[in-house]
Every structure is written in C-alpha cells, then in structure tokens.
Amino acid sequence: MLQISCPWCGPRDEIEYRCGGQSHIIRPGPPETVDDDTWGRYLSEKINPRGEHLERWLHAAGCRRWFNVARDTATHRIRAVYHMVEAAPAIGNDGVTL
C-alpha cells in the first residue's frame, strides 16, 4: 500500500487516489498548424520509463484535486509531491529532492 501525501490533505492511503498518468504533456498548437503525426503522438505516445515517472494523481476520495507526483516505477518510491503548475523538483546528487 502506497502512502501518498496530498498537498492539501496530508498523507493518505493509495486507495483514496487515482493515477492520471504522465504529467507535463503539452498540447501542440495552434490547431491549424498541427499535422496528423504530431497530433497522434500527442494523444498516444508515452514516456513510460522504468525509473522516475512524473505523473498526475487525483485525490478522488478526498479533496478531489489534482497534483503531481515524482514516483519511481520500479521501486514505487515517491520522491516528491508538487502542484500542477510547478515544474518537477530537481534531483540532488544523493538522489533526494533539493
């Protein structure tokens, strides 16, 4: 069972949350300039790393707000939780959030 710290509600069990997948996806545009290839990639392609993944989570059974999580997909260790508008926190030499 993961314990995830909602930025608003604090630490709660993973069953209260829903993972919304890869974060920081930027919609290409303006629409009239986007070709099919770019649009297809935008809709479907995933980084899907083995290692740190920056992803969106929803506190579905709590405050129902979205936030970002930096989580390792191999160990499930959560390095950082940050707001939707923030960039991913940098990683220090020791592997922890600066």
Partner 1 sequence: MRYSAWTVFKQGLTGQRGWTPAWRSPDPQSDYDVIIIGGGGHGLATAYYLAKTFGIRRVAVLEKGWIGGGNSGRNTTAIRSNYYYRASAKLYGHSLRLYEGLSRELNYNVMFSQRGMITLAHSPHDIELARRQIGAMRLNGVDTEFVSTAEIARRVPILDVSPEARFPVFGGFMQKRAGTARHDAVVWGYARAADALGVDIIQNCEVTAFRRGADGAVTGVETSRGPIASRRIGVAVAGHSSRLAEMAGFRLPITSYALQAFVSEPLKPVLDTVVLSPATGVYMSQSDKGGLVIGGGLDLYPSYAQRGNMPVIRNVLGAVAAQYPSLGRVRLLRQWAGIVDVVPDSSPIIGASPVPGLFLDCGWGTGGFKAIPVGGTVFAHQLATLTPHPLAAPFSLERFTTGALIDEAAGAGIAH
Site for partner 1, rule CB under 8 A? 1-2, 13-15, 18-19, 21, 36-37, 39-41, 43-50, 53, 55, 71, 73-76
Q: Which is nearer to partner 1, 42 or 82 (CB)?
A: 42
The first and second tokens of residue 38, run together, are: 């770019």
- Provide the Cα torsion 5, 55, 79, 96; round to 10°: -140
Closest distance of CB 91 from partner 1, Å: 19
CB of 44 to partner 1, least distance (A): 3
CA dihedral 46, 51, 54, 57 (to 10 degrees): 90
